[in-house]
């Protein structure tokens, strides 16, 4: 099997699985319980929070554990909206945000918020000038993702952070679900107020995520109850999930430091080969405007699901659009936003790599892709 759908989810690392099982078996007590074994769970939770903070170079009290990226994005956007609606009801995002940001903002529009959807260029990159020009007196939030989940475009987060910092009454949120561990991002240097990470994109388990929240900022919690997570996210903590996620963070951080050049070379190799392949049109920008691990391309005239199934029969697995919307057979909103026509946006395919992949796998994929395209076009006449 050749798995090239790592932006949808990654295979859990065996060390992560072992960590989950060990904590679930030995530290099953509620961290909020005042007895001794509850105290042991509480200490382990604190240790995991501290380790996560060290990896992100932030303070432990700035780490809010969530059920994943979608909850963390909702928490940041709706939390700011609910906390500061008296200050203003204007939010700025890009046209290519993940559904957990894009759809959340569309929901807020029903409650009287005004959303500015910034365009992107052909590389899928937002203009910093456009961001600055969009800011108004009533703007309370800018939300721009670091790495796009479909085409891999990398946004100028540091520059946007500099613009946002000139306006102390607005906040800057970054969805870093696809970037963490593959495209370095310095949260503090980029002056980010809220930042999202998901465990299952980094060989962790589904159902775990983090919202980094600058300790000087406030937001209204989505969940009320037991006042866990500094009162920002009530609910008994998923201790086994949290500890295993932090294990995954430590492992991916180590791999990023040691193997990022391997991933970049592999991505460049794949990009170059696809660029030369007949019947293929690339939708992703080259590095460094594009991330090394996400490459989107179209096979105009062919339905993406047909290509995916043809490759799947050979044990090769890629995807179309984001996993959250891949079963919707309409055009890719992201590819269309880059200015490509319906023929391109309706035939878009995504290959997403991990540190586990190698050139031999890429060569096999390229060979089978070429065969599949040739065969399908011949059949369709």
Asked whether 350 and 294 are in contact (CB, 8 A), the reply is yes
Pairing, β 90-94 against β 139-143: parallel
Asked whether 71 and 80 are in contact (CB, 8 A), the reply is no
364: Cα separation from own chain's centroid: 27
- The helix (run of H) or strand (run of E) holding residue 116 is strand 114-118
CA angle 148, 189, 118 (to 5 degrees): 35
Identify the three-state secondary structure at position 222: coil
pLDDT digits (tens, 9 = 90+) for 43-86: 999 999 999 999 999 999 999 999 999 999 999 999 999 999 99
pLDDT at site 248: 98
Strands of 209-213's sheet, edge to edge? Answer: 63-66, 209-213, 194-198, 171-175, 139-143, 90-94, 114-118
Please give the structure tokens belonging to residue 127.
């203009």
Alpha carbon distances (Å) from 368 to 18, 86, 314, 376: 36, 57, 8, 12
pLDDT at site 331: 85
Which phi and psi (to 5°) does residue 332 adopt?
Answer: -75, 120
Upstream peptide bond of 288 is cis (omega within 30 degrees of 0):
yes
Pairing, β 114-118 against β 209-213: unpaired
pLDDT at site 326: 46
Instruction: With a cut of 70, list the residues of the chain below it in pLDDT.
Output: 321-330, 381
- Domains of the chain by start residue, with CATH: 2-8+259-380 (3.90.1150.10)
pLDDT at site 282: 98
**Residue for token pair 């939770």:** 45
pLDDT at site 305: 94
Catalytic amino acids? 324
- The rounded distance, in Å, linking the Cα atoms of 128 and 164 is 10
pLDDT digits (tens, 9 = 90+) for 307-333: 999 999 999 999 986 555 445 556 899
Q: How many residues does the chain have?
A: 381
Q: How many CA atoms are closer than 13 Å to the CA of 113, on its beta-carbon side? A: 28
Give which of 97, 124, 69 is closest to 291, Cα–Cα.
Answer: 124
- The rounded distance, in Å, linking the Cα atoms of 289 and 267 is 13
Identify the three-state secondary structure at position 32: coil
Which phi and psi (to 5°) does residue 97 adopt?
Answer: -70, 155
Please give the structure tokens belonging to residue 139.
């703007």
pLDDT at site 380: 73
pLDDT at site 329: 54
């Amino acid at each position: 099997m050749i798995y090239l759908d790592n932006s949808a989810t990654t295979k859990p690392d065996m060390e992560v699985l072992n960590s989950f099982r060990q904590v679930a078996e030995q530290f099953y007590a509620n961290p909020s319980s005042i007895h001794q074994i509850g105290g042991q769970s509480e200490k382990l939770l604190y240790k995991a929070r501290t380790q996560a903070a060290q990896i992100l170079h932030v303070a432990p009290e700035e780490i809010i554990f969530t059920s994943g990226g979608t909850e963390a994005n909702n928490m940041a956007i709706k939390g700011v909206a609910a906390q500061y609606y008296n200050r203003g009801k204007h939010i700025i995002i890009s046209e290519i945000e993940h559904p957990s940001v894009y759809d959340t903002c569309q929901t807020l529009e029903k409650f009287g918020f005004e959303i500015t959807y910034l365009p992107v260029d052909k590389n899928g990159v937002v203009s910093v000038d456009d961001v600055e020009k969009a800011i108004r007196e009533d703007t309370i939030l800018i939300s721009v993702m670091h790495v796009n989940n479909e085409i891999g475009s990398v946004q100028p987060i540091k520059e946007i952070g500099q613009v946002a910092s000139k306006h102390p009454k607005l906040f800057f949120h970054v969805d870093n679900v696809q970037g963490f561990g593959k495209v370095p991002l310095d949260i503090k240097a980029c002056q980010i107020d809220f930042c999202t990470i998901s465990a299952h994109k980094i060989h962790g388990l589904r159902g775990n995520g983090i919202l980094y929240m600058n300790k000087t900022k406030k937001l209204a919690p989505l969940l009320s109850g037991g006042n866990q997570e500094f009162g920002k996210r009530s609910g008994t903590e998923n201790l086994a999930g949290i500890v295993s996620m932090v294990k995954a963070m430590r492992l991916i951080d180590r791999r990023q430091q040691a193997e990022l050049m391997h991933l970049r070379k592999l991505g460049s190799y794949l990009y170059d080969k696809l660029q030369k392949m007949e019947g293929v049109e690339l939708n992703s920008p080259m590095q460094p405007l594009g991330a090394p691990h996400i490459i989107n391309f179209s096979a105009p005239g062919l339905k993406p699901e047909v290509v995916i199934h043809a490759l799947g029969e050979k044990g090769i697995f890629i995807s179309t659009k984001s996993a959250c919307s891949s079963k919707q057979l309409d055009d890719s909103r992201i590819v269309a936003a880059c200015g490509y026509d319906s023929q391109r946006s309706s035939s878009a395919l995504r290959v997403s790599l991990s540190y586990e992949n190698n050139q031999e796998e890429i060569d096999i994929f390229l060979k089978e892709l070429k065969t599949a395209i040739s065969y399908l076009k011949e059949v369709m006449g």
